[in-house]
Amino acid sequence: MLNITHNKLNRKVDLSEYTAVQKVFHKRHYKYFNRFLIGFTIVSFVVLFLPWTQNISGTGNVTTLKPDQRPQTIQSPIPGRIEKWYVQEGDFVKKGDTILHISEIKNEYFDPNLVQRTGQQIKAKSMAVTSYQGKVKALETQADALRSERVLKLEQANNKLLQSRLKVKSDSIDFEAAKTNIAIAERQYDRIVQLESEGLKALTDVEEKRLKLQETQAKLISQENKLLASKNEVINAKVEINRIQAEYTDKISKSQSDKFTAQSNQFDAEAQVTKLENEYTNYEIRNDMYYIKAPQSGFINKALRSGVGETFKEGDQLVGIMPSDYDLAVETFVKPIDLPLMHIDEKVRIQFDGWPAIIFSGWPNVSYGTYGGKVVAIETFISDNGKYRVLIAPDPDDYKWPKDIRVGSGANSMALLEDVPIWFELWRKLNGFPPNYYQPSKKPAISQKK
């Protein structure tokens, strides 16, 4: 009823006689309710002054502390075709155990004796190198012999030149003597002619002197011819020296040219041997790649390529493996506004998925089912989800983490900050202020690289 009339019903009718009105409007209820309100107000006021631990919450998952301990996939560095599997999912393998065998799909590697044939090519080319080395040594010996022979030939030609020059001197002396003889013969002939004209000598003496004069003139001409022949021998000796020099220079140059050609062929053969040795090593390593082996001890998670005869490219993922030995850690993500509040060695409480927990975020001491952690790394670049990644390791001063935790399971983290009254935390939340900015009292230990 709206009760808008001036005729009040409760003034004319006594409602206290009804049972329902007696139960509702009994004075005892007012007394209990007032006590409850007073007690609730007092308790609420006291609670406002209780200490509250500010915290930064984040969500993430369980991972490993070191990168080489995390789940990985095994790839093949070469393309191939699956021939045989040696393991199945869930098997434990040791480092170096064979996981599967693959075969070749490129036609240039189809020959099963490719490595042996390449080794034979290396031997043949090595023998060619040895042959060229022998040829180079033989040509060097030949060049040395030609140089020695040239020295002897030049010495012989120089001796001949010296003999020719001495003969020229001898012939020139004879020629001068012949000139003297002819002068003497001419004077004797003139004297005999004069005496014969005076009647002192006979005509026969004149004829003898004339004959002697003619013989002397003939000897003069003969000595002159010998002198010219000796000079020609000197010229011929010089020409012979030049000829020997040119001849042996040509022979030595040809020998050196053949030597350089042999050396060039030798170097080319050595380069081919080196290239073949490189190919030989590559073929040997490639043959070892036909057997995919475990890089470390662990468990086979999942075969990403199944069946037999399936082909794949180089770098394709074949099988996943989880290392057997690892150190657990938690990677959590915090908002950019909370990143300045995170520090190395910061204490963190963690709640794992699958483990029951009762959590009071502001009262970590009364929380149940949480485990202690310590910040070991803070990412300096934002992740794809718009948050920063923080890596948390187990706290050695707290309880050990459960042994049955698996890598990849979910985890919630709470980084504990300063202790403030509850009223301050409510006021901060209502106004949207961040937690108190502070710096830890102890600087984080800086690891020194050895």
Indicate which CATH number applies to the domain containing 307.
2.40.50.100
My answer on whether 193 and 150 are in the same domain is: yes
Burial class (CB in 10 A: 0-12, 13-18, 19+), 334: buried
My answer on whether 89 and 142 are in the same domain is: no
Q: Does residue 300 fall inside a structural domain?
A: yes
Q: Does residue 8 fall inside a structural domain?
A: no
pLDDT classification of 358: cutoffs 50, 70, 90:
low
pLDDT digits (tens, 9 = 90+) for 182-227: 888 888 878 878 877 777 777 777 778 778 878 888 888 888 888 8
Q: Is the pLDDT of residue 368 over 50?
A: yes
Which helix (H) or strand (E) segment holds residue 301: the answer is: strand 298-303
My answer on whether 261 and 367 are in the same domain is: no
Q: Which residue in 401, 404, 353 sits closest to 373, CA to CA?
A: 401
My answer on whether 274 and 355 are in the same domain is: no
DSSP state of 217: H
72 contacts 304 by C-beta, under 8 angstroms:
no
Which helix (H) or strand (E) segment holds residue 142: the answer is: helix 114-198
Q: Is the pLDDT of residue 370 over 90?
A: no
pLDDT digits (tens, 9 = 90+) for 278-313: 999 999 999 889 999 999 999 998 888 888 888 999
My answer on whether 237 and 131 are in the same domain is: yes
Report pLDDT for 13. 67
DSSP state of 74: E
Q: Does residue 33 fall inside a structural domain?
A: no
Q: Does residue 273 fall inside a structural domain?
A: yes
State which residues form the domain around 169.
114-288
CATH of the domain at 408: 2.40.30.170
My answer on whether 299 and 314 are in the same domain is: yes
Residue 345's SS3 state is coil
My answer on whether 126 and 270 are in the same domain is: yes
Report pLDDT for 361. 55
pLDDT digits (tens, 9 = 90+) for 34-84: 788 888 889 888 888 878 776 778 888 999 988 888 889 999 989 999 999
pLDDT classification of 450: cutoffs 50, 70, 90:
very low
Q: Does residue 106 fall inside a structural domain?
A: no
My answer on whether 166 and 273 are in the same domain is: yes
* Distance from C-alpha of 61 to C-alpha of 352, rounded to nearest angstrom: 8
Cβ-based neighbour number of residue 224 at 10 Å: 16
Task: Give me the number of domains the chain comprises.
Answer: 3
DSSP state of 358: B
Q: Does residue 133 fall inside a structural domain?
A: yes
pTM score over 0.85:
no
Report pLDDT for 446. 41
My answer on whether 167 and 85 are in the same domain is: no
CATH of the domain at 211: 1.10.287.620
My answer on whether 245 and 125 are in the same domain is: yes
My answer on whether 358 and 420 are in the same domain is: yes
The two tokens of residue 152 are 């002897």
194 contacts 229 by C-beta, under 8 angstroms:
no
My answer on whether 186 and 219 are in the same domain is: yes
Question: Helix, strand, coil: what percent of the chain each, to 5?
Answer: 50, 20, 30
Q: Does residue 238 fall inside a structural domain?
A: yes
* Distance from C-alpha of 149 to C-alpha of 157, rounded to nearest angstrom: 12
